[in-house]
Amino acid sequence: MNTFIIFIVIFIIIFFVYYPLFNDNILEYKNNTNSDTSNDTYKQNLLNQIKELDFEKQMGTITDSEYKFSKNSLLLEISKLIEK
């Protein structure tokens, strides 16, 4: 009886460990990810960096020249992404 319980416990552990590897949702997720979503994420990240840069300017932690240089380089990078 004890061997049977141990066998069942081991089987359940193995099942829960290996089940995600064969789950169809994971395969669909891999198929749905493409460069468009990564580009959108990258653009959103750049826009968030600009917002943070504006906040730092308002707080006075960066100079005007640093602000202009950083903002222009971020905007240039976003425009290159949009042109693609």
What was the pLDDT predicted at 32? 56
- Per-residue pLDDT tens for 9-42? 999 998 888 887 776 665 555 555 555 677 888 8
- Per-residue pLDDT tens for 42-53? 889 999 999 999
What is the value of pTM for the model shown?
Answer: 0.56
CB 53 within 8 A of CB 70: yes
Q: Which residues of 20-51 are buried (b: 16+ CB within 10 A; e: fewer)?
A: eeeeeeeeeeeeeeeeeeeeeeeeeeeeeeee
